[in-house]
Amino acid sequence: MAYRFWCGECGFKTPWLAESRGAQRQLEHYLKQHPGIPAGGHVETNRKNPEGGFGFLQVAGIALLLLIIVVSCRR
């Protein structure tokens, strides 16, 4: 899953990253831009384009395509 961290003090947001890397980038932003203020804001998850791997429909489509190829080769 990909995550984007938003600053609670300004309009800064991280790119879509792994959760640990995004949290680190947000903390670095706070230390540089808002020293002395605890990191805040919110986290957005990218459910449409998760990081890594195929979705179920993509795997099912590939499996169906392979099944069609195997069946057509047996004739």
DSSP sequence for 3-61: EEEE-SSSS-BPPSB-HHHHHHHHHHHHHHHSTTSPP--EEEEESSS-SSS--HHHHHH
Q: What is the pLDDT of residues 36-68, one digit of tens each?
A: 999 899 999 987 765 544 556 677 778 888 888
Share of the chain above pLDDT 70, in %: 85
| Per-residue tokens: 37 | 């203020």
Number of domains in the chain: 1
Domain of residue 24: give its range.
2-73
Q: φ, ψ for residue 3 (rounded to 5)?
A: -130, 150
d(CA 3, CA 50): 9
Global pTM exceeds 0.75 = no
Average pLDDT score over residue span 1-17: 93
Q: Rounded mean pLDDT of the chain?
A: 84
